[in-house]
Amino acid sequence: MEAQEHNEHTQEKKMLPPPVGTFQTREELIKHVRDFALTQGYMVSIRDSSKDRYVTLACDRGGVYRKRLKTGENLRKRKSESRLTNCSFEVVGKKDDDIWILSIKNGVHNHEASNDTSDHPSCRRFSEEEVKIIRELTAAGKRPRQILKALRQKNPNLVSDSRNVYNVKAKIRREMVSGKKMGSSGGVATTLTTLSEPMVQNGVAGTGSSQAYLERKAVTDTRALAAELCRHFYTLGWFSGTGGSIAIKVHDDAIPKPSQLIVTSPSGVQKERMVTEDMYVLSSDGFILLAPVLKAYPHMPPQCTDCAPLFMKVFEMCDAGAVIHSHGMESCIVTLINPLSKEFRITHMEMIKGIQGHSYHDELVVPIIENAAHEGELIESLVEAAECYHYLFDAAIKLHQSGLDWTTPSHGPICNVNGFRGCGGNYNRALKAGPLSLNYMTEPSQHCILLDIEGTIIPISFISDVLFPYTHDNVEKHLAATYDSEETQIDISLLRSQIETDLERGITGAVPIPPDYVGKELVIGSVVENVVAMIKNGRKVAALKQLQGHICRTGFQRNQLVGVVFDDVAEALERWQNSGIKVYIYCSDSREAQQLLANSNYGDLRKYFCGYFDTTVGNKEEIRSYLEILRMVGVDKPTNILFVTDIFQEASAARDAGLEVMMSIRPGNAPLPQNHGFRTIESLLEI
């Protein structure tokens, strides 16, 4: 039976209905219809069926989009146009005795044929075998991109993408949590109570499958680990009696970290006596799912730690696997060295590398938060705080007692600045080394210098004549050699996002970066084309700078590159350090690239820098970027920071933020506007 042509349908290609006929099984009939539909540029889905009587198959573009909220301010709007066209195409299969008979109810479509099978959601579904592979690779900790690559090796014609893998992983997670059973298409066969519901009855959350998950090995092992750590931290002095607490995520590869369950210690129980059964289990949004069983007198009734709101905030903000609230003495004593200070600072210590995002040469800044009667009242302050380690607090105390300044890169003797003796010039009065005494505590008054790199520390010619050509010549080689590494995939992802924005804005030279499944060579080719165009146009976007930093890192490691600084830089840096002035870098290059450039023709200059800022804090021509640096450095007044740059727009933004500003006049720098209003220097030694 041939479909009649619809008035609105194009003449280019008629989408014919499937040939009618008889079939041995329902599945055979459905496969026949779908296979034929694909050859015509459409697809069908089951609209209605009774497994042993009939099945109705309709065009998957049938129906209309239905808004979830029909009225009110919160009217839901789609971000893209719905693919549904209310197409009335429909075929019916009916069972007569033991034979299934196919007939055409309406063979006409009201839309054009699709050009790509991936346009049809049903074509992107995974087979039962593919779902099994996804489950196994998920358990092995593989990422969706890696899973998709493995699936395409087995089935080169697979049209599914990473989003479909994410969806299956999410359904696997729900299955793991609530005991649901996934069908071959990735759908859920049954609906059961999930652990996210706040149900607690006699200390046990939920029933059935929810209770079964709480008894799984992953949960019981995490509860046992939490109890063991409580006892261990007690022996270290981090926990004292009933003081201190811990929360740990229940590691489950099938469940995304933000949705994983949380095991936390109770309040009012001596940590040295903790056992597995004492631990609470919380949902990812803080509901108690499992509470300890009430013990006989003289034991107190169980109570979840007062720190639970703090723990939930940390898990929400950070990619944390565990949170520890310690009562270590050193973390208290270190704040008393200068009780008026709002921050603890330390730099050039080995254990700083253990804190994510920091390296040995960075300055670690830990906000000091005033305590409150109840831990829950500290949540707002915690948003500004960072994690740190007992080692650093203890090291700071020992350095101070030895008369050494823990806040400077060299950890030299506590020095004398402008007639006043103090840590790195941070205090208006003297700090006495040795036993701590409040008689010597004064309000900090820190002075810092913030330096640009290009045109201030390093000649522009080194960037344009050495680094840019090196990047240009090695970008394709670097991408080919490191393509499968997580670092390079992140670089490509950032560039892809940047290029999408550039294309929307009509930026010259931007070309689309295709998805991964088109092949490594095509992706690399488009990335190289974009990088070359960005370098040619002088772009300073973070995505480009990060990739350039990784390419140049190889050059520095192989001694193919050496940073070149102006002759006055090393002497000025040493002079400032001896005077207790802290020096920071703010550059459009990545923090890693900044440290590479500091390894220079005058030796390793990283020992002079207390920290590095890149465009992750904001664009260098925006006021808010300098306000953020002020907050992170922690000076009392904006004028306590001197910013040196060769770019007028950067200088104007820094001045508007309240910083002191000087303009660097160096060979090769762009000319400044007339009457720019800034003091200029030709050498850092003039400061």
DSSP assignment letter at 296: P
**Non-local CB neighbours of 660 within 8 Å, separated by 6+ positions:** 639, 641, 642, 643
Bridge partners of 290, per DSSP, are: 204, 281
Pairwise CA distance, residues 58 & 87, whole Å: 8
Please say whether the beta carbons of 6 and 109 come within 8 A.
Answer: yes
Instruction: Report which DSSP code applies to 249.
Output: E
Residue given tokens 């006021």 in the structure block: 623
User: DSSP string spanning 181-242?
Assistant: -B-TTS-BS-----TTS---BTTB--SHHHHHHHTSHHHHHHHHHHHHHHHHHHHHTSSBTT
d(CA 609, CA 365): 14
Q: What is the DSSP letter of 68?
A: S
Are residues 233 and 246 in contact, defined by beta-carbon separation less than 8 angstroms?
yes
How many angstroms separate the CA atoms of 390 and 305, rounded? 22
Q: Is the dihedral of CA 628, 633, 638, 641 positive or negative?
A: negative
Q: Which of 622, 659, 620, 665 is nearest to 642 (CA)?
A: 659
425 half-sphere exposure, CB direction, 13 A CA radius: 16
Q: CA-CA distance, 535 to 533, in Å (whole number)?
A: 6
CA-CA distance, 468 to 547, in Å (whole number)?
12
Nearest-angstrom CA–CA distance, 402 and 396: 10
Q: What's the sign of the alpha-carbon dihedral 587, 592, 593, 599? A: positive
Nearest to 498 by CA among 472, 533, 474, 470: 533
DSSP assignment of 87-149: ---EEEEEEETTEEEEEEEE---SSPPPS-GGGSGGGGPPPHHHHHHHHHHHHTT--HHHHHH
User: What is the token pair recorded at 591?
Assistant: 């923090």
Per the listing, tokens 């290609």 go with: 13
Percentages of the chain per state (helix, strand, coil), in multiples of 5:
40, 15, 45
Catalytic residue selected from 5, 197, 350, 377: 350
- Specify whether the CB–CB gap between 93 and 58 falls below 8 A: no
CA 686 to mean position of chain CA atoms: 42
Q: How deeply is 675 buried, as exposed, middle or buried, from its count of CB atoms within 10 A (0-12, 13-18, 19+)?
A: exposed
What SS3 class is residue 645? strand
Whether 350 is catalytic is yes
- Catalytic residue IDs: 350
